[in-house]
Amino acid sequence: MTQFTTDVEEAVRSIPAGEVRSYQAVARAIGRPGAARAVANVMARNIDPTVPCHRVIRADGKLGGYNRGGEEAKRAILLSEGYQC
């Protein structure tokens, strides 16, 4: 586990339920603007239940991806949390 990963997890954990943040926004929050791809990489490899990675979507409003059932599951979770996509 690297510091970068830890920072990403913390930033994602700070996202309130029903809200979403783009990978770029998270990257900026941890002081690495432009590292959106690296952030996505952390999400993809690190499956941590303490991190609401389903609240992290693309900057264009698309869901992006999910390691636990694909975009369908992600969309379902977001809907159940109150996020209208």
Draw the binding track, 19-58, toward DNA (x: CB under 7 A; -: no contact).
---xxx-------x-xxxxxxxxxxxx-x-----xx-x-x
Q: Which of 53, 57, 63, 78 is catalytic?
A: 53
Residue 16 is classified by DSSP as P
Distance CA 35, CA 26 (A): 9
Of 11 and 23, the one with the shorter C-beta distance to DNA is: 23
Active site residue 85: no
Within 1-85, where are the H helices? 3-13, 23-29, 36-45, 70-81
Best CA proximity match to 5, nearest among 34, 44, 33? 44
Q: In the complex, which residues of this chain contact DNA (CB under 7 A)?
A: 2, 4-5, 22-24, 32, 34-45, 47, 53-54, 56, 58-60, 62, 64-67, 74
Q: Which residues are catalytic?
A: 53
